[in-house]
Structure 1
Amino acid sequence: MTRSYHSPRRAQDAATTRRDILRAAVELFSANGYARVTVADIAKRAGVAPQTVYSSAGSKSEILHRIIGEAVAHSDSATTTEAVRQTHDLAEALRLLAKGTRQGNEGGQQVVEVLFASIPVHEDGAALWEQSTGAYREALREVAHHLRDEGLLGMDVERATDVLWFCFGFGAWRTLVKECGWSWDDAERWLAAQAITMFSR
C-alpha cells in the first residue's frame, strides 16, 4: 500500500500561487470588467501558465466566487456587531455601525467594484449577489435585533434591517464615494447622521 506524502512546502507554494492568481484577477476585473478578462489575462498578470490558473483556482467563474467568498470570510463584521452590542445609545450604535461598515467597504472597495461590474454579465449573477450580501445583511439584522432589545426601534426588525442596508450597504458607500467623489470621512459622518435621523423618528 502506497502511503501518501504531504509536503508543507508544496502546500505553502500552492497557497501562494492561488493567492497571486486571485489578486491578479481582482486587479484585472476591477480595471477592465469581468466580461473582458480571460483566464489567459489572469495567468499573464499572475506570472503562471493558464493551466495553472485552472488547476489552482478554477475557471473564471469559479475564481470570481472564490474572490467574493474570501472577501466575505475576511469582512470582520463580527467585530463591528460586537462593538454595537456594547452600547445602549441609539446614536452611538449607529455611529459605530457607520465606522465599521466604512472600514469594510473602504478596505474591500476593489472587490465591491468587481461585484458590481460582474453581476450583470455573470451567468449566475443572482447567486453571486446573494453570496456577497447575505452575511452583510445578516450582520445588519443582528444590529437591528440589538436595537429592538434595547427598546430603540420604532419599526420591526426586518424593516430596520432594510433601512440599515439602505444607509450602510454597498450601494450607499459606492454612490457617495465612487460616483459623487465624497471622501470616506465625509460619507461616514453623513450616513451616520442620516441613519440617526431615520431611527429617531
Structure 2
Amino acid sequence: MSRTRSYDNSGRVEAAAETRRRVIATARDLLVSEGYHAMSVAQLARTAGLSPQTVYNSVGGKAEVVKAVYDVMLAGDEDPTPMSERPEFLAMGEAPDRAAFGRAYAAWSASIYARVGSLLGVLLADGAGGDQGLRDFVSTIDRERRTGNGHAVDTLERRHGLAPGRDREELVDEIWTLTAAEVYDRLVRRCGWTHEAYAAWLGDALAAATAREVSGRKR
C-alpha cells in the first residue's frame, strides 16, 4: 500500500521571508541615505546582492518596495496586525477624559514619526515631481492615516462621547491635518524643532481639538 509523503516547505517559506527582509532593509538604507529618486530596482538588487527579478518576486517594483519599507518602519515590525488593533492603540481608551485621550493619541502618533520620520523626510523633500508612484504613495498613506484617525475618534466617542456640538467628520478633519506627515516634516526637518518639541506641540493641539466644545457652527 502506498503512502502519501507530506512535503515540508517551511525552509523555502523562511528563505523567502528572509529575502523579503533583506530587500526591505537594503531599500530602507538606500532611501534614507540617497533619496527616493536616486533608488532604482537595479541599484537595490545590486546592493542587496540579488537579481532584479528576485526583488520583483519577493516584494515588487519600486512603488511596492517603498510602501513595504514604510509599513515596516511605521509598525516597528513585520507583524501584519493593523495599528488600530494593537495594544498600544487600544490602551488609549483608558484615558480618563477627552483631553487626556488627545494627549495619548498625540504621544502614540509622535512615536510613529520617531520611527518613520527619517523616511518621510526623504520622500517629501523633493516632492513627487512627475513620479506617479510617489504621488500614489503619498495619497495612500494619507488615506490610511485618515482611516486610523477615524478609528481614534470612534474610540474617543465610545469612551467619553464627543464634546458638545462636535461633528465627527470635522474632528477627523482636524486630527488628520494636525498629524500630517508634512506638518512633522515642516517643523522637525525644515524648522529644526526637536522631536520632543513636536510631540509636546501635538499633545497640546490634539488635547484642545478633542476637548473643545462647539456651538452655533455648521460645516
Q: TM-score if structure 1 supplies the norm length?
A: 0.81
- Please give the secondary structure, in 2, of the residue aligned with 1:35: coil
The reply to whether residue 33 of structure 1 matches residue 35 of structure 2 is yes
Partner of 2:48: 46
Bigger-Rg structure (1/2): 2
Instruction: Give the gaps of 5 or more residues in structure 1.
Output: none
Instruction: Give the gaps of 5 or more residues in structure 2.
Output: 214-219
Letter in 2 for 1:10: R
Aligned 8 A contact 1:77 1:100 in 2: no
Pairwise mapping of residues 65-76 of structure 1 onto structure 2 (< 5 A)? 65-70=67-72, 71=74, 73=80, 76=83
- In proportion to residue count, which structure has more helix? 1
> How many Å separate the matches in 1 of 2:82 and 2:51?
31
Aligned 8 A contact 2:35 2:123 in 1: no
User: How far does residue 105 in structure 1 lie from its aligned partner after superposition?
Assistant: 1.2
Could you tell me the percent identity over the aligned residues?
26
> How many Å separate the matches in 2 of 1:121 and 1:64?
17
Distance 1:128 1:74, change over 3 A: farther
Distance 1:51 1:4, change over 3 A: farther
Aligned 8 A contact 1:84 1:93 in 2: yes
Aligned 8 A contact 1:69 1:132 in 2: no
User: How far does residue 41 in structure 1 lie from its aligned partner after superposition?
Assistant: 1.2
Q: Residues 157-180 of structure 1, C-alpha deviation per residue, up to 9 Å, x if partnerless? A: 111011112222322322222222
Find the partner of 2:92 among 84, 88, 99.
84
CA RMSD of aligned residues (A): 2.9
User: How far does residue 4 in structure 1 lie from its aligned partner after superposition?
Assistant: 8.8
User: How far does residue 26 in structure 1 lie from its aligned partner after superposition?
Assistant: 2.0
Pairwise mapping of residues 20-169 of structure 1 onto structure 2 (< 5 A)? 20-70=22-72, 71=74, 73=80, 76-78=83-85, 79-113=87-121, 115-116=123-124, 119-149=128-158, 150-153=160-163, 154-169=165-180
- Please give the secondary structure, in 2, of the residue aligned with 1:129: helix
> How many Å separate the matches in 2 of 1:132 and 1:147?
22
User: How far does residue 92 in structure 1 lie from its aligned partner after superposition?
Assistant: 0.8
Letter in 1 for 2:47: R
- The farther-off stretch of 155-164 and 110-119 is 110-119
> How many Å separate the matches in 2 of 1:124 and 1:92?
38
Partner of 2:217: none
User: How far does residue 121 in structure 1 lie from its aligned partner after superposition?
Assistant: 4.2
> How many Å separate the matches in 1 of 2:58 and 2:181?
30
Q: Residues 35-87 of structure 1, C-alpha deviation per residue, up to 9 Å, x if partnerless? A: 22222211122122333223322222332243345446467344344223222
Aligned 8 A contact 1:76 1:104 in 2: no
> How many Å separate the matches in 2 of 1:167 and 1:75?
21
Aligned 8 A contact 1:35 1:121 in 2: no
Find the partner of 1:182 among 182, 193, 196.
193
Aligned 8 A contact 1:81 1:142 in 2: no
Q: TM-score if structure 2 supplies the norm length?
A: 0.75
Partner of 2:216: none
Letter in 1 for 2:106: A
